[in-house]
Amino acid sequence: MYAQAASSFHTTRDLLRFAVSRFNDAGLFYGHGTQNAYDEAAYLILSALKLPVDQLEPFLDAKLLPTEVKDVIDMIERRAEQRVPVAYLTHEAWQGDFNFYVDERVLVPRSFIYELLGEPLQPWIEHPELVQRALDLCTGSGCLAIQLAHHYPDAEIDAVDISLDALEVAAINVQNYGLDERVQLIHTDMFEGIEDKYDLIISNPPYVDAESVDALPPEYLHEPELALGSGEDGLDATREILRRAPDFLNDKGVLLVEIGHNRDMLEECFPTLPFMWMETESGDGFVFLITREDLVAGLAADAQ
């Protein structure tokens, strides 16, 4: 079927129809940026052809070179038959206005934290210049560290990951954005070896519980398992961050952490911590903010 398509098709419209049919037939899971077969197909084709990903209509009837058709058909086949996420096929992922290089060494960027940097944090960080140093724990592709540098132009950013593979991808993105002088990539496990203090610490750590990891759709199994699961209840990494963060935050420092669907479990584990749950496009239960002052007081009360 795919070989026949590669030898028969000539236009973007041909590829779009074929891709939608194959994706619907395969019953794909959409969780890496699109929500349905049509949007997934349009994004894959436009990205693969190096066309603007938000302008399909002008190119629908454009005639393609045979090599272009074959390359896109190959991607459609891998997406439908092997369930490979589109971002790994095109080596590109978007967060807002930022695009990043990605491959199987890192998670496909989808953190809610990027929505919260800058203006949404003004109640706690009144002016961007108040952030002189920031830390991105579990940086992966470096996408959040790069957006930190954008929103806080006076800040030096440390971006930490336990995976050397991930840091190699992050280095590509840091270089692409010309941030080699401001974003330092550090290979370590969480806070190990870190000596600085920060005005802002952010983290999108692993947070999928063991039961959910076992039930993930095939698309997610292409992602690094190390970056997904975090113990039986999914909170091992978050516990470590909360307990150690006071030593690495300045007196007026702020901690911002994504935890997925673990809000109830986290609040049960740390009943004395006054988490501020931040509003995102998907709701207000996925990312918490806490100041160093409140974190120190809450942990002290929890220890009594």
Query: For residue range 266-289, what is the model confidence (pLDDT) as tens digits?
Result: 888 899 999 999 998 877 788 999
Residue scoring higher pLDDT (154 or 212):
154
The yes-or-no verdict on residue 1 having pLDDT over 90 is no
Q: Quick one: pLDDT band at residue 5, thresholds 50, 70, 90?
A: confident
Taking the model in full, what pTM does it have? Answer: 0.92
Residue scoring higher pLDDT (209 or 154):
154
The yes-or-no verdict on residue 132 having pLDDT over 70 is yes
Average pLDDT of the chain, as a whole number: 91
- The per-residue pLDDT for 303 is 65
The yes-or-no verdict on residue 228 having pLDDT over 70 is no
Beta carbons within 10 angstroms of residue 274's beta carbon = 12
Continuous segment of H or E residues that includes residue 84: none
Residues of the chain with pLDDT > 70, as a percent, come to 94
- The per-residue pLDDT for 231 is 64
The yes-or-no verdict on residue 244 having pLDDT over 70 is yes
Average pLDDT over residues 121-146: 96
- The per-residue pLDDT for 20 is 97
- The per-residue pLDDT for 61 is 93
Rounded-to-integer distance, Cα 286 and Cα 110, Å: 12
Structure tokens at 304: 């009594």
* Alpha-carbon dihedral angle through residues 142, 113, 92, 226, given to the nearest 10 degrees: 60
Rounded-to-integer distance, Cα 268 and Cα 259, Å: 14
Closest to 33 (Cα-Cα) out of 136, 108, 135: 108
The DSSP result for 120-185, as a single string, is: GGTTTS-SGGG-SEEEEES-TTSHHHHHHHHH-TT-EEEEEES-HHHHHHHHHHHHHTT-TTTEEE
> What's the distance, CA 181 to chain centroid?
23
DSSP 68: H
Query: For residue range 83-120, what is the model confidence (pLDDT) as tens digits?
Result: 999 999 999 999 988 999 999 999 999 899 999 999 99
**Can you name the residues that pair with 223 across neighbouring β-strands?**
none
- The per-residue pLDDT for 7 is 87
Rounded-to-integer distance, Cα 121 and Cα 138, Å: 21
* Alpha-carbon dihedral angle through residues 229, 216, 267, 293, given to the nearest 10 degrees: 50
Q: Quick one: pLDDT band at residue 227, thresholds 50, 70, 90?
A: low
Beta carbons within 10 angstroms of residue 208's beta carbon = 21
Beta carbons within 10 angstroms of residue 182's beta carbon = 18
* Alpha-carbon dihedral angle through residues 288, 271, 230, 294, given to the nearest 10 degrees: 50
CB–CB of 292/246 below 8 Å? yes
Q: Quick one: pLDDT band at residue 209, thresholds 50, 70, 90?
A: low
Q: Quick one: pLDDT band at residue 264, thresholds 50, 70, 90?
A: confident
Query: For residue range 174-200, what is the model confidence (pLDDT) as tens digits?
Result: 999 999 999 999 999 999 999 999 999
Rounded-to-integer distance, Cα 85 and Cα 61, Å: 26
Residues contacting 156, CB < 8 A, separation 6+:
132, 133, 134, 182, 184
- The per-residue pLDDT for 218 is 86
Structure tokens at 164: 């050397």
> What's the distance, CA 279 to chain centroid?
17
